[in-house]
Chain A
Amino acid sequence: MSSTAMKKKVLLMGKSGSGKTSMRSIIFANYIARDTRRLGATSKNTLKERFDVEHSHVRFLGNLVLNLWDCGGQDTFMENYFTSQRDNIFRNVEVLIYVFDVESRELEKDMHYYQSCLEAILQNSPDAKVFCLVHKMDLVQEDQRDLIFKEREEDLKRLSRPLACTCFRTSIWDETLYKAWSSIVYQLIPNVQQLETNLRNFAQIIEADEVLLFERATFLVISHYQCKEQRDAHRFEKISNIIKQFKLSCSKLAASFQSMEVRNSNFAAFIDVFTSNTYVMVIMSDPSIPSAATLINIRNARKHFEKLERVDGPKHSLHMRMR
C-alpha cells in the first residue's frame, strides 16, 4: 500500500439552488459568503441557473474529500463540460450524495441529470455508495410529506438500478438533516457494529451514563450508548451545534478545539479526541469520581479503539495520524 492515501471523494451534487451549499455549510460548519445578493432596489438578479463548481478542502472521516458540484443550467454548456471532465469528476468516488429539491418543477430534467451521474459512477467508481436526499421538505405540508417522499423514493430506487440508493428526506429546519447525514456516516464506517459493541463495554466498565462517538469534522453521532432513557431526543444535534459554534469561535483565534470538561454538582461530561476519525463524549452522573480517573480510562480506551480501526478498514487507516 502506498504511504500517501488516494484521496477518495464524497460528491455532493444536485441542481443549482437545491440547497447544497447551505447543507454543506451547516454540516461542516463553513462560513458562507454571499455577495451577489441584495443591492437595494436598483437591480434584480434573476440568475437562478448557473453552472458552478466548488471544491472544498473539507476532510471527512479521515481521508475523504468533499466535492460539491452544481448540475443544471445551460444545457449545452453542461453536456460539454460533463462529457469532457466526466472521468475526472467521477473517478475515485467513495460516496455520491445527490440532492433533489422537492419543490422543483422540472422533475424530468432532474431525473435526467441524476441518471447521467449514475452512469458516470457506474463507469468510473462502481463501488460507490449512492444516497439521495429529498431536500427542503419543510416547504411541503405536513400531512403530505410522507406521501410525497414515498413516491419519490420509489421513483429513485427504480431509476437507480442496478445501483442501490438509499433515500432520505431532509430539511435544514428539522432534525431530519442531522439524522440523514448521521445515517450516511454510519454506513461509511466499515466496522461500525464492532465499534458499537466495544463502546457499550467501555461505557459499562467505567460506569458512564452515556457515551457518544462523534465524527471528527462534522460532529455527527456515529454511535452511542445510554444506560437509561433520556428525556431530550434532540440532544445530539444540540451538542453538535454547540461544539461547531465553539469551533468557529476557536478558528477565529487560529486555535483548534481538542478537548473539554464540564462539571457541576450533578454530573461531569468529557469531550475528547478519540481515534483519528472520532471524538468521544462521556457523561458520568456520579460527580464523586475524580476527573483524572475518567480521563485515564478514556486514554486507555483510545489505544484499544485505535487498534480496532487499524486492523480492519484498510482505506481508513492509510492516512497519517492527525496529532
Chain B
Amino acid sequence: MQLLLFKSKCIHVFLFSFIGAHTLGKRMTSLMSPALCHNVQRNACVMPYVPFHVEPRNIVGDDPQERVSAEAAILNSRVHYYSRLTASSDRLLSPPNHVIPRQEEIYIYSPLGTAFKVTGSDPSSKNPSIITIFAIWNTMMGTSILSIPWGIKQAGFTLGILILIFTGLLMLYCCYIVLKSPKAINMDTSDWEFPDVCSFYFGKFGKWSSLFFSMVSLIGAMVVYWVLMSNFLYNTGQFIYNYAHNVNGSDSEFGTNGSVICPYPTTEPGGNSTISTLYISGNDTSDGSSFEHWWSKTNTIPLYLIVLLLPLLCFRSAAFFARFTFLGTISVVYLIVLVTIKAVHLGFHLEFHWFDTARLYVPEFRLLFPQFTGVLTLAFFIHNCIVTLMKNNKHQENNVRDLSVAYLLVGLTYLYVGVLIFAAFPSPPLSKDCIEPNFLDNFPTSDVLVFVARAFLLFQMITVYPLLGYLVRVQMMGQIFGNHYPSFLHVLVLNILIVGAGVLMAKFYPNIGSIIRFSGATCGLALVFVFPALIHMISLRRQGLLRWPSAIFHSFLILLGMANLLAQFFM
C-alpha cells in the first residue's frame, strides 16, 4: 500500500526522483535526460501544461528552439528503462548504432541545466593498439613459461635459442594466415572464429575436428594445471609446516647449500662422496612422520584438490572467475622479477660444448630438440581465439604489426626466462641436466621468494581452472547436446572425467614437460599447421592466385606439423 505524494514546483523533479538517483551515475554518456528545472521562482516555471518538455531557457545557449526532439525524448526513456532490465555488462538491450542519433546531434544535459556536446570516440569498445598487444601477450602467457628452461636444456643452449626464434616466427606466420582467413569468405563473418572458418571449408569434418583439437589443448592445459596445483600446494604446505615446526628443510636435499637443488639426480655422483647417498626429497621419505604420509605430492594432494575444485567446476556460470584474469599477469611479472633476482644471486655458469656431452653440461645441439618444439607449439598457441582478440582493435590496418609486436614480446619474455635460468643454473656442483620441466622445482621448499611465487601461482590456477572447465563444457556440451547445461548429471560426468584425468596424471606421470609437448604438438598439428595452411591454399586457389612457391611452402608447413607430432613419440 504505497500512496506517494509529491509536492513539487516542477514536473521534472518528479521525473528525476522517480527514476532514482542511482540511474544518474550510469548512462551519463547516453542521450539527453530532461534537465531539471531548478528555478525556484514560481513565475519562471509557469508554463502551459506540457509534460516531458525541456525549457529552452534552461539550456546553455540562446536558441529559442527546443533542443530535445520528441524522438530523442522517447528514445531516452527507452534506454533508461531497458538498462534496468539487464546486467550492466550485458549488451543485449543496448541501443545499436543505427538507432542512436549522429554524433553532431548528441548533447549531454546535466540536471542543473548546463549542456555540452559529445566529443570523441565511438562508444563501442575499440581498443588502442597497446591494449590489443597486451591482451594477446596476456592470453598467450601460460604455464608453459615454467618449462622453457627445461626445453632449452633438452634442445641444447644454442639450438634452443635458435629453435625458439624460428618456431616463434613460424607460428607468427600461421597466426597471420589464421587472422586473414575469414576475410576471404564472402559471407558476413563478423562474429566468426577460426573453428567456424574450418567448418565453412571442410563441413562437418572441419567442425568436429577443430572442436576435438581445441579440446585437446584445453584438456591438456587442465591436466597440467592439476599437476602443477598439486605441486604448488604440496610445497606451500611443506613450507608452512617447516616454518611452523622450525624444521630446517634443506638438510635432506641435494644441492648447493640449499639454494638450488636437483630433485631427481641421475647417476652422476660428481665429486663429493657424501652426496652419493642421494634420495628424492619430499615424497616418500619413510621416516615415519605422519605429515609426510598425509601430505604427499603424488598420493594424497591430488585428491584433496578434488574436494576444492570439483564443486567449482559444476557452477553454471564462470563469469565470477573471469574477474581474476589479472592475476595471471601479476604472476608472470613476479616470475620475471624472481628469475632476475636468482640470476643476479647465482651468477652465470655457461660453458659451450658443441656436440659432446660434458660431465655437467649438455651439448649445444642435441637430438632431443623436438621436445622443445612441442613445448613451444603450446607456448605460442593462440590461434583459436586470435580473430576475436583482434576484432576490437581500433586501427584494423595495424593488425599485422600489432600481432608481430605481441609475438615479439612473448618470445622475448620466454627467451629471457629460459636463458637466465639455464645460464644461472649452478653447474659446478650440479649438472645442467637437472633442470626440471617446472623450473620452480629446482628451488627448495624453504626458499621464501619461490614460496611466494608458488603460492601466487597456486591461487591463480585455482581461479583459472574453473574457467577452463567452463570453456570445455560450453564447447563440448554445446556441440553435442545443443545446450550448455543439459543437466547436472551430464556436467558432473564431464567434470569427473576431466578431474580424473588430472588426478591420474598427477599420481603416475607428473612430468609437465611431456604433457605440454604432447598436447601442444597434437593441437598444433591441426589448428596451427594443417588447417590454416590448407585453408590458405584453398582460398588462394579459388581466387586463382595460387603459385607454385606458395603451394610448396604451405605443404612444407603441413609436413612440419606432422613431423613435429611424430617426433614427440620417437624422441
List residues of A whose CB falls within 8 A of some B CB: 22, 25-26, 29-47, 49-52, 73-74, 77, 138-139, 172-173, 175, 209, 231-235, 237-238, 241-242, 244-246, 248-250, 255-267, 285
Contact = CB atoms under 8 A, between A and B. Distances in A.
A255 B8 contact: no
B42 A234 contact: no
B410 to A, nearest CB: 15
A59 to B, nearest CB: 19
A231 B42 CA distance: 23
B18 A241 contact: no
Given A42-B385, A234-B74, A258-B3, A34 B87 contact: yes
A161 B85 CA distance: 38
B140 to A, nearest CB: 11
Nearest to B50: A231
Given A51-B482, A232-B70, A263-B7, A257 B2 contact: yes
B135 interface: yes
Nearest to B187: A105
Contacts of A256: 2
Contacts of A42: 139, 385, 467, 471
Given A242-B18, A242-B19, A266 B49 contact: yes
Interface stretch (B93-101, B105-113, B240-248, B495-503): B93-101
A35 B316 contact: yes
A234 B70 contact: yes
Interface string B12-28: 00110011100000000
B366 to A, nearest CB: 34
Interface centre among B42, B78, B92, B193 (most CB of A within 10 A): B78
A313 B90 CA distance: 42
B409 interface: no
Interface in B445-469: 467
B4 interface: yes
A44 B195 contact: yes
Contact of B2 (A74, A138, A241, A250): A250
A234 B76 CA distance: 12
B507 interface: no
B74 A73 contact: no
Contacts of A173: 75, 78, 95-96, 99
Given A26-B85, A43-B474, A44-B193, A260 B93 contact: no
Nearest to A43: B471
B33 to A, nearest CB: 13
B81 A244 contact: yes
B475 interface: yes
Contacts of B273: none
B90 A138 contact: no
B47 to A, nearest CB: 7
Contacts of B8: 263-264
B96 to A, nearest CB: 7
Nearest to B214: A43
Nearest to B2: A258
Given A25-B86, A42-B385, A260-B3, 20 more contacts: A26-B85, A34-B90, A34-B92, A35-B319, A40-B322, A41-B385, A41-B389, A43-B471, A47-B482, A49-B482, A139-B98, A232-B53, A245-B20, A245-B80, A258-B2, A264-B8, A264-B10, A265-B42, A265-B46, A266-B47
B325 A40 contact: yes
B388 interface: yes
B73 interface: yes
